[in-house]
Structure 1
Amino acid sequence: MSVAITLVLIWFLGAGALALSSLRGLSGVVWLLVVIGIPILGLVTWEHGPLSGSLLLVAGALLLCWPHLPLARRVQRWLSGPQ
């Protein structure tokens, strides 16, 4: 596994943990992830081609927009049952 892919996996783990956390005021951390992710994305594009870079750009943007957070809350409410 290349260094670029390893860095991407670490970045995705961090972004996923951030997306699932319930902390407020995380916009600074999100911007830090963006600043760290841009050079990693460039490295992946350099080593693995523009298609890989484009796919990872879309995946990272979707992850940072947190579309799955409301779904996770609904599932959690459903699993906990009526209160």
Structure 2
Amino acid sequence: MNWSLCAALLWIVTACFIGALPSRDYHWRAAYRLIAVGIPILGWVTWANGPVMGLILLAAAASILRWPLIYLWRWVRRKVAG
């Protein structure tokens, strides 16, 4: 296992740990930080291991951070619909 996959695994474990902690803002600040750190890691994994591994990591990250994606999808739909 190379360093990019180790960083991705550490990101996933950290995200799961943060999700288990209580939060007053429903974990939104933590989600923004995880997104900011996760995007470069996703690029690093894709560059080092190829697009298939990048898509697998993208699917894992999307399953962990599903609510920001759901709200983003709703926002895009409202903007497109007018």
Q: Which structure's residues are more often helix, by fraction? A: 2
Question: Per-residue CA shift, 1:13-68, capped at 9, x if unaligned?
Answer: 110011222222121111110010000000000011001101110111101227xx
Alignment of 1:24-63 (within 5 A): 24-25=24-25, 26-63=27-64
Q: Distance in 1 between matches of 2:8 and 2:22?
A: 23
Q: What is the TM-score normalised by the length of structure 1?
A: 0.73
In the alignment, which residue of structure 2 is the partner of 1:2?
Answer: 2
Q: Distance in 1 between matches of 2:23 and 2:30?
A: 11
Q: Which moved more, 1:47-56 or 1:21-30?
A: 21-30
Number of residue pairs aligned between Structure 1 and Structure 2? 66
What runs of 5+ residues in structure 2 fail to find an aligned partner?
68-82
Percent identity between matched residues is: 36
Q: Distance in 1 between matches of 2:66 and 2:58?
A: 12
**Cα RMSD, aligned residues only:** 1.3
Q: Is the Cα–Cα contact under 8 Å of residues 4 and 44 in structure 1 kept in the other structure? A: yes
* Aligned amino acid, residue 28 of structure 1: R
What runs of 5+ residues in structure 1 fail to find an aligned partner?
67-83
Find runs of 4+ consecutive structure 1 residues off by over 3 angstroms: none
